[in-house]
Each structure stands twice: as C-alpha cells, then as structure tokens.
Amino acid sequence: MSNILIIKHGSLGDIAQASGAIQDIFENHKEDQIYLLTAKPYFDLFKKNPYLTDVILDKRLSRFNLIYLFSLMRKLKKLNIFKVYDLQNSSRTSFYKKILFPNSNNWSSSETTLPKDKSKDEFDKNPVLNRFEHQLKTSGLRVIHTLRPDFSWGCTDISKLMSDFDLKKYILLFPFCSPHLAQKKWPYYNQLIKLIKGKYQDQYKIVVAPGPNEITDAKEINAECILDNEKSLNISQLASLIRGSSFVVANDTGPAHMAAHLNVKGITLYGSHTTAYKMSIEREKFKAIQVNDLHRLTSEKVFEKMVISLS
C-alpha cells in the first residue's frame, strides 16, 4: 500500500470538473491511501468525497514564507508520498514540485505529460476535461470517469430548507459574477423572469442563491432569494439546491459548472472572455449559448432555448 497525493486548490467550478479525474485516480489506486491538498474554501467540501482517505489544508501563504513551507513539507514528508497527481497545474504547484518534491519522478501534471509535438500554451487551448484525460492516461491510468464528472458527492440533505421555502418546482438563476469579471455578466435576467412568468405563470418558482458578497445585488433580481438563516448557502447546500431544480440559467461561474456535472437541465451564457468548448461545460442536459457580446444576447433568445429544453 502506498500514499497518493492529489493537488486541487480550486476554484469552485474546477472542483466540480475534477470530480471524475479524482474518481479515476481512486479506481486505479484502490489498494492505496489517497490524500488531497486543497485550499480553505474547499476543505470541508472535500471531506465528503468518498474517494479520498483524508484532506490536507494548504493555507497558500507567500512562497517567501519559509516557516510555512517547512511546515507543509514536514507534513507531506511524514506521509511518504509515492505519487503526486497535480490537477491544479498552476505556477504555485509547479513551485511545490521544485521545492517539496525536487527529486520525484512520480509527479503527474500537464507539464510532465505534455505531448512532444505541442507547447504548453497550445496544449492549454484544449478542453479542460480532455487535458485531464490526457494527463491521467499518459500517467498510466485507466480512465473512465474523467470526461463524465459526477459532482453528486458534494450534496447534502436540504429537506428543511426546501420545506421552509416551499420549493417543489423551481427555476434557479445565477445572475452574479465577481466584480473583476464583469465581462461574464449577462444583464437581462429580470427581462427573462418576466418572460418565464408570462408563459408558465405559477408553475415554477423563480429563485436565486447568492454568495456572501452577492446578497445585496440579489435584491435587484425579481426572484425569491434562498438563504439559510440570512446567510448564503454553503457549497453542499448549493449543490443540492441545484440538483433539485427544474432548470438553471447561469453566467459562466462556479455554480454553472456544478449544474453541468449534477446532471440538471440548464443553460450557461458565454461572451468573448472564453469558450464553452474550452471549459468542457456542455453536457447532455446542460448547454451553452456563445456570443461575442453578452449585452447583445436578448432575453428572448435565452428564453427560446430554455422553453425547448423544458418541453
């Protein structure tokens, strides 16, 4: 039996996407102990993952904080890690390889498994899940789940919340995004809500589930705001709310990726900032609308695609 380390710091959408890769690593190392190194926002979430032996917190302090690096190194050295699967593939994890595992040939990353005929910039243009698949296959793993992530492990019981808000059939909207990523924000959610209510009347509740910094903005959306004791839902509660929905409409944010990998019906809206193809977000039930300018994407266009999916 050996100890295996997976590194996945975030973000929320990336966590959902990596679910299949983590499951494949488990399936290929059933006799081993599998640990995961992650950041604080996802520490409790990963504790629920059935494919992990334990979760290790990375505070992600400055690379010049030698005391912290030594502490992290000591913690990992005690585990006598045999193999590392770097699913973050960031400059930070590349730094960890050099500092914490300088002599290891058992480090799997997009760099160590890079195709000989491609530069990393070229390789990174491929869809996210295809890059994971290549990395794991090149590392000698049998890959089954990587291209079909299942995020249902992240769910929890929200029956009380569903009862408190009388949630039976509902359409869930995610009209928010980080302030520094305003180019991802589609501005016509209230117009879409008007169209939904005009056609479906009271057949569906229309709800939003804002994050901690989005509660004030949620007041501008003509939908019921789902909170737990006036606080934002945690990730597991949010996953369950998404899984129980009749339909999801979202900007290109973490909840959109959660919805895609929770097998729910929905649409995510993409402008010119990236492509749905590169983000591997389209699934059998979850689709994307890709446009050059989100301000020119009409509510009628989104509603039309939504009606087809709901019919």
Cα dihedral sign for 115, 30, 40, 180?
positive
pLDDT of residue 120: 86
Q: Which of 87, 131, 92 is nearest to 108 (CA)?
A: 87
pLDDT of residue 182: 78
- Helix or strand run (H / E) with residue 93: helix 91-100
Quote the pTM value.
0.94
pLDDT of residue 16: 97
What count of residues does the chain have? 311
Which two tokens mark 207? 């709800």
pLDDT of residue 34: 98
Residue 166: CB atoms within 10 A of its CB come to 9
pLDDT of residue 192: 98
How far is the C-alpha of 301 from the C-alpha of 311, rounded, in Å?
16
pLDDT of residue 301: 97
pLDDT of residue 204: 97
pLDDT in tens, the chain (311 residues): 899 999 999 899 999 999 999 999 999 999 999 999 999 999 999 999 999 999 999 999 999 999 999 999 999 999 999 999 999 999 999 999 998 888 778 999 999 999 988 888 899 889 999 999 999 999 999 999 999 999 999 999 999 999 999 999 999 999 998 877 778 999 999 999 999 999 999 999 999 999 999 999 999 999 999 999 999 999 999 999 999 999 999 999 999 999 999 999 999 999 998 999 999 999 999 999 999 999 999 999 999 999 999 98
How far is the C-alpha of 222 from the C-alpha of 212, rounded, in Å?
19
pLDDT of residue 118: 87
Number of alpha carbons in the 13 Å side-chain half-sphere of residue 232: 14
How far is the C-alpha of 16 from the C-alpha of 307, rounded, in Å?
26
* The 3-state secondary structure of 146-202, one letter per residue: CCCCCCHHHCCCCHHHHHHCCCCCEEEEECCCCHHHHHHCCCCHHHHHHHHHHHHCC
How far is the C-alpha of 297 from the C-alpha of 293, rounded, in Å?
7
How far is the C-alpha of 247 from the C-alpha of 80, rounded, in Å?
46
Which domains, and CATH codes, for the chain? 3-153 (3.40.50.2000), 156-310 (3.40.50.2000)
For 222-239, how does the pLDDT look when each residue is reduced to its tens digit (9 = 90+)?
999 999 999 999 999 999
- Helix or strand run (H / E) with residue 309: helix 299-310
pLDDT of residue 271: 93
